[in-house]
Amino acid sequence: MYNSWVEISKSAILHNLAQYQKVVGQSVEIMPIVKSNAYGHGMVQMAKLVSSKTSWLGVVSLGEALKLRKNKIKNRIFVLSYAQSNYLKQGIEQNIELPVYDLPTAKLISQIAAKSGKYAKIHIKVDTGASRVGVLAQNAFEFIKKISQLPNLEIVGIYSHFAASEENQKYTQLQVDKFGQVLNQSDQLRVIPYRHFACSAAALVKPQAHLNLIRLGLGLYGLWPSPLAKKIALKHYPWLKLKPALVWKTKIIQIKEISAGTKIGYGCTYTAKKKMTIAVLAVGYWEGYDRHLSSKGQVLIKNKKCPVVGRICMNLTMVDISSVKNAKVGEEVVLLGKGITVESLAEKIGTINYEVVTRINPVLKRKYLN
């Protein structure tokens, strides 16, 4: 439908998974996180790719989980954040593992499971300092006690989430300690089989947080959570190498010569200082190419970096190709990858690498390369 697409290296994904498996060792399981269209890489395809390498998959919602089941994914699937009530019966019947962080939700899951003659697998979410969803750590023991009395619930996991494992090691340790206290208390009631806390960053910088299951998100796709996390990780694991898996491309749809003084784009924010050759690209902010890259971004055409000129439009972007010889309409243009790093775009936009890849429009075609 569109002249912009994404290419994904399957071998890079499998390489990154193997690197993390080497970091955590055989006693720790890995849950690849494929939520939110697998951070822009394609949820169903990524799930199928890693499904034979791990028992687990993580998604954000029950709707995503059921989509994976519809696509014949048989792995253990855990919902990280929210389970929509209208899908609960179906989710329980299809053995989706659910998050619980408040009593009304736990009671509803219990009731639906009992009516279905099933046991619902649940994970208790504990808030140790991120102040997102989760029962507060100081209330966790009493909460688990109440949950344990509800019928048709099987508590198979307990987990938390770091607020700043990419950048604040002191606060990260405080969260580790707080979660450790919760685990010690909960063990007095029952031993919960799976304990998970570490994300991509914490798995590299905080071995204490490995427990027996880690959740691998950004690192699976070959991206570093932060420069500090990378620096700390390479001190411990100098052999570690992550391979970015995604290349984003578009095409030139028109080339034209403009004279000095010509205005380019909405708002006339860019004025050509001299005679210039510009290419119009079939990509804009609807496709996910951020408007903050206007007159800041660069693209690759015939291996040469070409600057974005003028404001990025909804579906079009203009670039200066004066330095490129023999460029043609229909020419491939690299927006991201092969020298244009996610981190460089994130810095220009004023955001994080997570957002750059995740916001590539999911309707764009993904091509999976061996």
The residues annotated as belonging to the active site are: 35, 266
In the chain, what are the helix, strand and coil shares in percent, each to the nearest 5? Answer: 35, 25, 35
CA distances from 139 to 124, 161, 211 (A): 12, 16, 22
**Core vs surface per residue 160-199: b (16+ CB within 10 A) or e:** bbbbbbbeebeebeebbebbbebbeebeeeeebebbbbbb
What residues does 155 pair with on adjacent strands? 122
- Pick from 249, 262, 247, 269: which is nearest to 322 by CA? 262
* Number of neighbours of residue 310 by Cβ within 10 angstroms: 23
* Number of neighbours of residue 55 by Cβ within 10 angstroms: 11
